[in-house]
Amino acid sequence: MSQPLSLDPALIDAAQTATAWPFEEARKLVERLKRTGKKEVLFETGYGPSGLPHIGTFGEVARTSMVRYAFRLLTGDTIPTHLYAFSDDMDGLRKVPDNIPNKELVAASLGKPLTQVPDPFGTHESFAHHNNARLREFLDAFGFDYEFLSATECYRAGRFDKTLLTVLERYDAVMAIMLPSLREERQQSYSPFLPIHPKTGIVMQVPIDERKLDAGTIVWRDPETGERFETPVTGGHAKLQWKPDWAMRWVALGVDYEMAGKDLIDSVKLSGEIAKALGGLPPEGFNYELFLDEKGQKISKSKGNGLTIDEWLTYGTPDSLGLFMFSKPREAKKLYFDVIPRQVDDYLTFLEKYPSQDAKARLMNPVWHLHAGHPPAPELVSSGGGNQPGTTISFSMLLNLVAVANSEDPGVIWGFIRRYAPNVSPETHPRLDSLVKRAARYFEDFVKPQKTYRLADDVEAASLHKLWEILGSFENGGRPVTAEAIQEEIYNVGRAEPRYQDLKAKGATPERPGVSIEWFNTIYQVLLGEPRGPRFGSFVALFGVKETRALIQKALEGKLVSEHEAFLKTKSAERAA
DSSP H or E stretch at residue 565: helix 559-576
Distance CA 254, CA 369 (A): 25
The answer, yes or no, to whether residue 96 has pLDDT greater than 60, is yes
For residue 146, the model assigns a pLDDT of 96
168 Rama sector, left if φ>0, alpha if ψ -120 to 50, beta otherwise = alpha
Determine which of 110-114, 208-212, 358-362, 536-540 has the lowest per-residue pLDDT on average. Answer: 536-540
Residue 306 has pLDDT above 70, yes or no: no
Determine the pLDDT at residue 388.
Answer: 59
301 is annotated as contributing to ligand binding? yes
pLDDT in tens, 323-333: 999 999 999 88
Can you tell me the mean pLDDT for 527-554? 90
Looking at residues 113-137, what average pLDDT do you find? 94
pLDDT tens-digit readout, 363-408: 999 999 999 999 999 999 987 644 557 889 999 989 988 888 867 8
Res 480: pLDDT: 85
417-450 pLDDT per residue, tens: 988 888 899 999 999 999 999 999 998 888 888 8
pLDDT of residue 385: 47
Under DSSP, the state recorded for 473 is: T
CA 293/CA 10 separation, integer angstroms: 41
Q: Quick one: pLDDT at residue 2?
A: 56
Sign of the torsion formed by the C-alpha atoms of 205, 208, 211 and 215: negative
For the chain, give the mean pLDDT.
92
**CB-based contacts of 542: which residues, under 8 Å, 6+ apart?**
393, 397, 401, 416, 417, 420
Residues 55, 312: Cα–Cα separation, whole Å: 9
User: Can you give the pLDDT at residue 393?
Assistant: 93
Q: What is the pLDDT of residues 154-209, one digit of tens each?
A: 999 999 999 999 999 999 999 999 999 999 999 999 999 999 999 999 999 999 99
Task: Give the list of residues 6+ apart from residue 498 with CB closer than 8 angstroms, or none.
Answer: none
Per-residue confidence (pLDDT) for residue 1, from 0 to 100: 39
Beta strand ranges found along 162-299 (DSSP E): 193-195, 210-212, 217-221, 228-232, 238-240, 260-261, 287-288, 291-292
